[in-house]
Structure 1
Amino acid sequence: MEKPPRYRLSEAEKDALLVEQAALIERLAARVAELEALVGKPRKTSANSHIPPSQDGPGGASRKADAKRRRKPRPSRPGVSRPLADDPDRTERRLAECCPHCGTAVPEAAQRCRHRYDHIDLPVIRPVVTRVELFGGRCGDCGRRYRAAPPAAMPPGTPFGPGIRALLAYLHHSHHVGFERLSRMLEELFGLTISEGAIANALRRMGVAFDTACAAIKAKLLGAPVIASDETTTRVNGVTHWQWVFHSGQAVLHTIAPGRGRAVPAGILGGHRPEVWISDRYAGQQELGRVHQVCLAHVLRDVQYAIDCGDTVVAPKIRDHLRWAIRVGKRRPGLKDSTLAAYAAKAERDLDALVGVPAAHPAGRELQRLVKAWRGKFFVFLADRRVPPTNNGSEQEIRPSVVFRKVTNGFRSDWGPDIHAGYRSVIGTARRQGQSAWTAIRDLIGGTFAVA
């Protein structure tokens, strides 16, 4: 509906229109001031914030290329060759029949090995099919039918043995091979015809084994004095979920939940309160342990953003101080307790001094406010040798799942997230016990997996 001309408005209507226009001008002026404040500020990237590298934008690749060009060339290394196998399956001995220069026949006794090398190849791999025939008949005494019991290692039901089931889980969850490509790969490499539905059914049947293993892993985790945690997004049936990881020195536990709230880690802990909790500064990760060590790598990104904003007084000194503390943390195995305590006192004292320096730049004042808010959670690792200064261990544990999400675009079933979380828990725990992912999943399917 069109507004009437202004000359037809009454005085009260004109006053109302003036008030409306004044309110609009005030909102626009506030928006202009907000945009002007943003002009000149650096864009947040993975180098100065928590934004992942995939969201750096078109300029991210050029910045990385510039950094690579500025990097010093790596010194050359001496060449090496592949070591010979300790126990070759077969040895091919070749003796010369005559001298290649003059044609004189040479005896075998005069020859010795002048060159030795390994030739490695794969044979044609085909599945081993065992036909099981169960005989029976009718009892001559009671007249009832009977049948022989099946072999314990080859029960009726799925035709695929533990080796094939372990291979399906290993290729899908460790190497992110989708069901369609996995079906084609098995047929072309091994001559094994298996449909996508059969692959899904084989993975789904592993749920009981994963649940049993995760229960033992959780018990091991809750007995640890130091626990670290992190979380990332995933997709389940097109809906955003969160994948959490909790790990200690001997156990790794993954879980996928609909939310990111504090209820998830609290439910895992079940009232248990570890001595030290390691995480980033997300609110859902706070107050879960008696002492909290925040990830200094995340703090350094915020410090870098303050430097990019133009702060040249406070932020560079805080950056250098945190880097010095991390270097001290790497030297802890060679330091005495008294020396480490002196370093811890110096770290606290110097950080207090940096927080008290008057900051002229707004970014420096904001950084000081951030440091004050988390003041008691920076240098726990200098007082406890078991604690790392960063949460990189959690990010390393969860990174394969991020790659899995990007390749497969998440899960399309309700049981898929539990299987993946169980798989990552089993192989993560096995790796800390010195086992490979393939060995761990074979032991799990075979019923011999155990948490040490």
Structure 2
Amino acid sequence: MRLSPHDLRQIDEAFIAALSEAALRVLAVNLLVDLKEAHDRLGQNPANSSRPSSSQPPWEAASAAETEDPTEDPTAPASEPPSSAATTPASDKNKAPAGKPGKRPGAPGCGRLVTLPVQEEILHSPDRCRCCGTPFPADAPTKGYNGRYALDVVAPTSGSPGLEVRHTKHVYLQRQCSCGHWTHAEPGRCAENTDWQVELTEWHLAGPMLVALICALSLRQRVSRRGVQEFLADWLGVSLSIAAIHQCLHEAGRAVAPVIERDIVPLIREAELLHVDETGWKEGNQLLWLWVFTCTTATLFAIGRRSRRMLHKILGEAFVGWLMSDGFWAYRDYDRRLRCLAHLIRKAHGLDQSLDPLARPFGAATLALFEDLLQQVYQAREGPQPPADLYQKNRGKLDAFNDLCVDHWDCAHEKTRQLAREFTHDWEAIWAVLEFPRLPITNNWAEQALRHWVISRRISQGTRTEQGSLAFALLVSVIETCRKRGVSPWPYLAQVVQQRRKGEPAPVLPEPAPAP
């Protein structure tokens, strides 16, 4: 760079107007060199530089058309009809379609060899005739019909720490009734669901606790499918295919689906104070958004578009609690709103440190006002009595700042103009904390709930399919809700999988752990 920030702060329209033609040419050349260098830096990506692949945001490799729904934004321009230039290039038409993952048709299959010793054999027999309904007597003719092996992990019986692998053989019997009908014992099975491509059934090699362990490794420890396979083989002597591990995760997601609708969504919609945030999420080759809604006792995740429709799908239109959020326009549909002041303070810091002379005064004025008013909020919180209305107490300062925002409504500097309009649009939500000082001033709850999964997104680059996104959102909702309640999610998740595989209702979420 030829011009430093110190140099740029001294250059404005008046300075340029006073330069001679020769000096202007020199300045223009310096600015052109700096501009090209800046564009080269902005254009760097893992394909054309030494930047690691993990530094590429999901939206750079996904379709920008999926970032949010423009048809729901009242300020968005009308969409234009597709032009002929948007058709597929000739080179792409001749490109072979990408094949689906997995075994190709006609490829030789493989089976699992039973190598682990069997610790227990469990017999399953029917209790009554499926034809006539008569209970079987103890001496009814019985013979073997089918069987399966199951691997699971349990706590050691000796009480020492560690995991113990249990290999169980399940034998399904058939019994003959006096009417002559033979009735088979069947493994448990959940009813079919067309929304899922994975079955919920006891006819599965991985037991419920092993499924919970796979979820823990994949989601909480951020281990890849192949890494989970390696860990199970090296440390537990359990050999599972990548497809089986993948199936376990999706099966667990389907198992907890009723828990979300029955136990978590009502808590979110009835919360007195709800924190909500969203971040980019890549699904296949399209960009969606990972939403989080969190209150005192529950956390809900969802993956979808950044739109009013998605927000109303989660919260409904009758949400009456306080909603802490950022400045996304769809949140304005709800009356009792709070704005995260940390976002605004960071933007004001950016203006205060800007090279533009129009931005610095507005940024400095915003920071000074926040420093004064937030100090009053902190003092009001320390008092034993309900604090007085700080908004009326500071009415003169706020009116003067509102006039300053109006003056900068059409400011030539884009960031200054945007921040001034943001204050005007969300005035009541920003300053609600002055009327109710006990309310939060930041959206830390939502941002902390997202932090672990944002790191996971950088490692995994999101999900590949719609079902994968759904399973991910359902599982992390249960995991984070249990952690918020101070209980371990893994025994509960294993219990849910066990019950749902039998076709029975999922158990209710654990109650919050008592405070120490």
TM-score (norm 1): 0.65
The residue correspondences of 1:5-404 to structure 2 (distance < 5 A) are 125-136=163-174, 138-139=176-177, 141-147=178-184, 156-215=202-261, 216-257=263-304, 259-287=305-333, 289-309=334-354, 310=357, 311-329=359-377, 333-338=381-386, 340-356=387-403, 366=417, 367-384=419-436, 387-404=439-456
Task: Choose the corresponding residue for 1:429, options 481, 485, 491.
Answer: 481
Gaps of 5+ in 1: 1-31, 46-52, 57-120
Paired letter, 2:342: A
**8 Å Cα contact 2:282/2:462 also seen in 1:** yes
Gaps of 5+ in 2: 1-27, 43-53, 58-158, 190-200, 499-505, 512-516
Aligned pairs, number = 339
Give the whole-Å Cα distance in 1 for the aligned partners of 2:424 and 2:175: 83
Q: Residues 279-327 of structure 1, C-alpha deviation per residue, up to 9 Å, x if partnerless?
A: 111122222x222211111111221121012555442242133244445
Query: What secondary structure, in the 3-state scheme, does the structure 2 residue paired with 1:227 have?
Result: strand
Paired letter, 1:279: S
**8 Å Cα contact 1:229/1:394 also seen in 2:** yes
Q: Residues 7-45 of structure 1, C-alpha deviation per residue, up to 9 Å, x if partnerless?
A: xxxxxxxxxxxxxxxxxxxxxxxxx9xx89x98xx99x9
Structure 1 pair 346/436, CA: closer, same or farther in 2 (3 Å)?
farther
Give the whole-Å Cα distance in 1 for the aligned partners of 2:416 and 2:471: 47
Q: Percent identity?
A: 23
Query: What secondary structure, in the 3-state scheme, does the structure 2 residue paired with 1:128 have?
Result: strand
**8 Å Cα contact 1:170/1:437 also seen in 2:** no
Q: Residues 262-295 of structure 1, C-alpha deviation per residue, up to 9 Å, x if partnerless?
A: 11101222222323222111122222x2222111
Query: What secondary structure, in the 3-state scheme, does the structure 2 residue paired with 1:253 have?
Result: strand
Paired letter, 2:288: H
**8 Å Cα contact 2:253/2:475 also seen in 1:** no
Give the whole-Å Cα distance in 1 for the aligned partners of 2:254 and 2:404: 58
Give the whole-Å Cα distance in 1 for the aligned partners of 2:260 and 2:379: 35
Paired letter, 1:391: N
**8 Å Cα contact 1:204/1:419 also seen in 2:** yes
Structure 1 pair 299/55, CA: closer, same or farther in 2 (3 Å)?
farther
User: How far 1:389 sits from its partner (Å)?
Assistant: 0.8
Give the whole-Å Cα distance in 2 for the aligned partners of 1:122 and 1:188: 20
Tell me which moved more, 361-370 or 278-287.
361-370
Structure 1 pair 135/374, CA: closer, same or farther in 2 (3 Å)?
closer
Q: Does 1:448 align with 2:507?
A: yes
User: How far 1:178 sits from its partner (Å)?
Assistant: 1.2
Tell me which moved more, 420-429 or 362-371.
362-371
Paired letter, 1:284: A
Q: Residues 324-361 of structure 1, C-alpha deviation per residue, up to 9 Å, x if partnerless?
A: 444555566532455x2243434554233334469899
User: How far 1:188 sits from its partner (Å)?
Assistant: 0.7
Give the whole-Å Cα distance in 2 for the aligned partners of 1:165 and 1:202: 6
Give the whole-Å Cα distance in 1 for the aligned partners of 2:252 and 2:226: 20
**8 Å Cα contact 1:307/1:315 also seen in 2:** yes
**8 Å Cα contact 1:226/1:274 also seen in 2:** no
* Equivalent in the alignment of 1:93: none
User: How far 1:181 sits from its partner (Å)?
Assistant: 1.0
Paired letter, 1:133: V
* Equivalent in the alignment of 2:104: none
Q: Residues 248-275 of structure 1, C-alpha deviation per residue, up to 9 Å, x if partnerless?
A: 2222111111x21111101222222323
Q: CA RMSD for the aligned pairs?
A: 3.7
Give the whole-Å Cα distance in 2 for the aligned partners of 1:372 and 1:286: 13
User: How far 1:158 sits from its partner (Å)?
Assistant: 0.3
Give the whole-Å Cα distance in 2 for the aligned partners of 1:275 and 1:151: 42
**8 Å Cα contact 1:134/1:148 also seen in 2:** yes
**8 Å Cα contact 1:252/1:429 also seen in 2:** yes
Give the whole-Å Cα distance in 1 for the aligned partners of 2:188 and 2:325: 49
Query: What secondary structure, in the 3-state scheme, does the structure 2 residue paired with 1:127 have?
Result: strand
**8 Å Cα contact 1:172/1:182 also seen in 2:** yes
Paired letter, 1:197: A
Give the whole-Å Cα distance in 2 for the aligned partners of 1:433 and 1:412: 31
**8 Å Cα contact 2:269/2:316 also seen in 1:** no
Tell me which moved more, 187-196 or 230-239.
230-239
Question: By percentage of residues, which structure has more strand?
Answer: 2
Give the whole-Å Cα distance in 2 for the aligned partners of 1:126 and 1:303: 56
User: How far 1:218 sits from its partner (Å)?
Assistant: 0.6
Structure 1 pair 180/334, CA: closer, same or farther in 2 (3 Å)?
same
Give the whole-Å Cα distance in 1 for the aligned partners of 2:497 and 2:437: 37
Paired letter, 2:264: I
Structure 1 pair 264/345, CA: closer, same or farther in 2 (3 Å)?
same
Structure 1 pair 356/166, CA: closer, same or farther in 2 (3 Å)?
same
Query: What secondary structure, in the 3-state scheme, does the structure 1 residue paired with 2:487 have?
Result: coil
* Equivalent in the alignment of 1:67: none
Paired letter, 1:198: A
Structure 1 pair 369/448, CA: closer, same or farther in 2 (3 Å)?
closer
Paired letter, 1:145: W
User: How far 1:161 sits from its partner (Å)?
Assistant: 1.2
User: How far 1:418 sits from its partner (Å)?
Assistant: 0.7
Paired letter, 2:220: S
